[in-house]
Amino acid sequence: MKAWVLEKQAKIEGRPLKLMEVETPYPKDNEIRVKVLVCGVCRTDIHIAEGDLPLRKPNLILGHEIVGIVDKTGKDVKKFKIGDKIGISWLNSTCGKCKYCLSDRENYCPDFKCTGWDVDGGYAEYAIIKEDSALGLNDIKLEPEDIAPLMCPGIAGYCAFKLTDIEKGEKLGLYGFGPTAYYVLKVANHLSIDTYVSTRSQKNMEVAKKAGAVWAADASKKDLPCKLDKSIVFPPAGNLVEPALTQLEISGILVLAPVSMSTIEIGNYSQNLWGRDIRTLFNVKKSWGEEFLSIANEMQIKAGKEIFPFEELQDALILVRKGKIKEANAVIKVGDW
């Protein structure tokens, strides 16, 4: 099969991925093989390609926002059949035996394996996944290119949203407005939760208001009109944490979504942290992913996407790196069924 392979990490402008012919993978007994239709581009792909995150396997195929069709099944597979539409997210597998896996908290499993990092991902004609980790998409009435970004920013945003424990009637704050925050805003609207968006960009303020934010401005320049019950910080900017805490009611919860973060300093504990909780989004949970897909289908959530042919993956990565994608998401069209 054709695949984009990362042999050696390097700056994305140096085009470290190589398009080559590799052996087509074959599913083990409890695995399915998927013919990849589309795969969304994530900033994490760039972090891995450039070496911000260590390489965990040689000759890695990146990509963890996969939508495809089952084309082969292992002999023990029961949940899926050839022709089924499925999604593969960042969650590739967990051990299934540890105290976390046994208590529906597999996101903390010490053996959590990531698609497109520990295991080959979706920038290839075929990908393999254990049937227990695959997300069934037959009932999702959205186009593959609209489903792909749901697999990472959509599901991760929903997991961050769930961690806030927000309830109807409460006020939610979102700091930073990338693709992840966009999906949270849509879901919050759907659940009649008033959402306040802090973003630096004028364009994002407009997008946020159009998507239903009751307030959208740069909270570092313009005071929020009220205190918030729950908030999520999306950018990896530690300097946003204390100001976000000051905007929370006592009993409020602040969720930090980033996978890495610049230094966090809390200068005034008693005034700004005491009485509030900070939580972090570690890994995603399958049950929350399924819950999100069902809401996304009900709402027919679509975000802006720019579609690139398979051969132009590397150009798409460079554009994402430079922030030059015209839409919120970049999606690679890999194959047809």
Per rule CB under 6 A, is residue 152 in the interface with ligand NAP? yes
d(CA 261, CA 250): 24
Q: Any idea of the CA torsion for 154, 155, 157, 161, to the nearest 10 degrees?
A: 130
Residues binding Zn ion: number (CB under 5 A): 8
Looking at beta carbons only, is 87 or 252 nearer to Zn ion?
87
Pairing of β 31-40 and β 329-333: antiparallel
Among 199, 272, 314, 329, binds ligand NAP (CB under 6 A): 199
Q: Which span (14-22, 139-147, 230-238, 301-309) binds ligand NAP, by CB under 6 A? A: 230-238
Closest of 73, 61, 54 to residue 1, by C-alpha: 61
Per rule CB under 6 A, is residue 200 in the interface with ligand NAP? yes
Among 73, 164, 283, 314, binds ligand NAP (CB under 6 A): 283
Provide the token pair at 251.
Answer: 């009993």
d(CA 223, CA 200): 13
Per rule CB under 5 A, is residue 94 in the interface with Zn ion? yes
Per rule CB under 5 A, is residue 259 in the interface with Zn ion? no
Least distance in Å: CB of 57 to ligand NAP?
Answer: 19
Among 34, 37, 60, 109, binds Zn ion (CB under 5 A): 109
Among 94, 115, 195, 204, binds ligand NAP (CB under 6 A): 204
d(CA 140, CA 124): 23
Per rule CB under 5 A, is residue 152 in the interface with Zn ion? yes
Q: Is residue 134 within 8 Å of 264, Cβ to Cβ?
A: no
Q: 309 CB contacts (<8 Å, ≥6 apart)?
A: 332, 333
**CA 269 from centroid of its chain's CA atoms:** 32
Residues of this chain that interact with ligand NAP (CB under 6 A) are: 43, 90, 152-153, 156, 176-181, 199-201, 204, 234-237, 240, 257-259, 281, 283-284
Residues of this chain that interact with Zn ion (CB under 5 A) are: 42, 44, 94-95, 98, 101, 109, 152
